Structure 1
Amino acid sequence: MDFKKFILSGLISGIVFALLMAGWDYYKEVPFSVLKFIIHFVLFALFNGYMSYRTEKKKLNNK
């Protein structure tokens, strides 16, 4: 398994989610928070990277 794929997947999905949430806050006229942006980015990136890893691992185990 190539772990770079899972890390890159997590990072891309995390930054997209954090940008979408920052855009939503901007739309709702909530002030931008760097801490909130980083938390959204890190937590979503970790979650998606881990879920991608588990899915790929299950696929390999079923073969």
Structure 2
Amino acid sequence: MSPGPYGCDGGILGTTIGERGRTPLDLDELVERWALLKDEQVLVSGKRGATRLGFAILLKFYAQ
């Protein structure tokens, strides 16, 4: 499959993206990467609805 317009192969989280060559993540790696820590839960708890989910995802994404 050729990369899409954003350099992504259309696979699941953690699969090959552009030239980075990431390998698929197993369940333990996904939990380690995306589970919220206690201090992050406090930050997210101040948000409501879809804002809460979006904030949590951005928080974990940029913390990597």
Q: Same fold (TM over 0.5)?
A: no
More helix by share: 1
| TM score, norm. by length of structure 1 | 0.34
Larger RCO, structure (CA 8 Å, separation 6 or more): 1
